[in-house]
């Protein structure tokens, strides 16, 4: 881990809001792993091997009449990521009920208290989509339900599902960092019913679940939805996030095609999290 090379990009954004918020969301989906807000915008870090020039083209597309993005970059060898994280990761509490924090934060007086080891996997609860998926899980009955958390990141959603009584739970991510970080977080939270699996939709063949949670992105979801739905038991529930309001028609059409019925929607800063049921 100590010799992973990261490229740090310093983005200047004007005006800061909503520019920084939109930029962080986009960079997260493009593969950047951590963000430090600065007075001028944000510094974002990506593993050198994940880098490709088309990412900056995507960022340029974000330039609009409302805000402008300039950037500079420097290559850094990251040796103590935790130090950065400790300086910048604030705990969050969702709906006064569920805290997501690092081990070095003080414990909250909440019904659910999730500890995320300070690494770089997506899923600290700060992103709108994670936040809304936590809200969906909090609102629904998970007791004794078998659950798949597809694209588990830190494993935060699988851990909350277990805290709500779900079992057994599979937490799947194709990224080795996320796989390792989820394993660590499952242990830190003393979760007993979660199996962490490194892989993509191909590992789902022949599996069955009562509830599937997938917070990934529009294109992966459209590509893999059929595989997820094939694993969903009759009367099962599918929660999807990682896309915007504008993407709902195409996601909903794909779900309807596979006999899923729309149930509910959460929305935050134009990101959405949908609930479907299988008849």
Ligand X SMILES: C[S@@+](CC[C@H](N)C(=O)[O-])C[C@H]1O[C@@H](n2cnc3c(N)ncnc32)[C@H](O)[C@@H]1O
Closest of 62, 59, 42 to residue 51, by C-alpha:
59
Name the residues that contact ligand X, by CB under 6 A.
Answer: 121-123, 129-130, 133, 151-153, 156-157, 172-175, 178, 200, 215-216, 220, 242
* CB of 197 vs ligand X, minimal distance in Å: 9
173 annotated ligand binder: yes
Q: How far is the CB of 171 from ligand X (least distance, A)?
A: 8
> At its nearest, how many Å lie between ligand X and the CB of residue 220?
5
Query: What's the distance, Cα to Cα, between the start and end of the chain in Å?
Result: 46
Of the two residues 156 and 191, which places its CB atom closer to ligand X in the complex? 156
What minimum distance in Å lies between the beta carbon of 278 and ligand X?
21
Residue 151 labeled ligand binder? yes
> Please, which residue, 16 or 220, has the CB nearer to ligand X?
220
Taking the least distance from each CB to ligand X, the nearer of 94 and 255 is 94
Q: Which is nearer to ligand X, 67 or 184 (CB)?
A: 184
Is position 224 annotated in a ligand binding site? no
Residue 158 Cβ, how far from ligand X at the closest point, in Å? 8
Nearer to ligand X, 67 or 152 (CB): 152
To the question of whether residue 41 is assigned a binding role by annotation, the answer is no
Q: Which residues does the annotation place in the binding site for S-adenosyl-L-methionine?
A: 130, 151, 173, 215
Q: Which residues are annotated as a binding site?
A: 130, 151, 173, 215
């Amino acid at each position: 881990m100590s010799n992973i090379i990261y490229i740090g990009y310093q983005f200047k954004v004007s005006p800061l809001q909503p520019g920084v918020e939109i930029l962080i969301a986009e960079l997260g989906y493009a593969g950047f792993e951590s963000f430090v807000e600065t007075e001028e915008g944000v510094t974002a870090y990506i593993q050198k091997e994940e880098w490709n020039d088309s990412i900056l083209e995507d960022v340029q597309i974000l330039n609009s009449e409302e805000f402008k993005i300039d950037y500079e970059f420097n290559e850094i060898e990251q040796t103590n990521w935790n130090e950065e994280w400790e300086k910048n990761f604030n705990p969050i509490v969702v709906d006064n009920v569920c805290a997501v924090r690092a081990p070095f934060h003080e414990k909250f007086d909440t019904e659910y208290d999730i500890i995320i080891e300070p690494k770089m996997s997506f899923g600290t609860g700060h992103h709108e989509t994670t936040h809304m998926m936590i809200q969906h899980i909090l609102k629904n009955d998970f007791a004794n339900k078998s659950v798949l958390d597809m694209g588990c990141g830190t494993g935060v959603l699988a851990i909350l599902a277990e805290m709500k009584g779900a079992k057994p739970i599979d937490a799947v991510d194709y990224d080795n960092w996320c796989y390792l970080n989820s394993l660590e977080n499952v242990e830190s939270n003393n979760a007993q019913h979660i199996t962490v699996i490194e892989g993509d939709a191909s590992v789902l063949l022949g599996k069955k679940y009562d509830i599937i949670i997938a917070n990934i992105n529009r294109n992966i979801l459209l590509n893999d939805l059929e595989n997820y739905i094939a694993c969903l038991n009759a009367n099962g529930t599918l929660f999807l996030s990682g896309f915007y309001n504008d993407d709902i028609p195409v996601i909903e059409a794909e779900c309807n095609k596979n006999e899923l019925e729309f149930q509910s929607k959460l929305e935050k800063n134009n990101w959405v999290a949908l609930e479907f049921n299988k008849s």
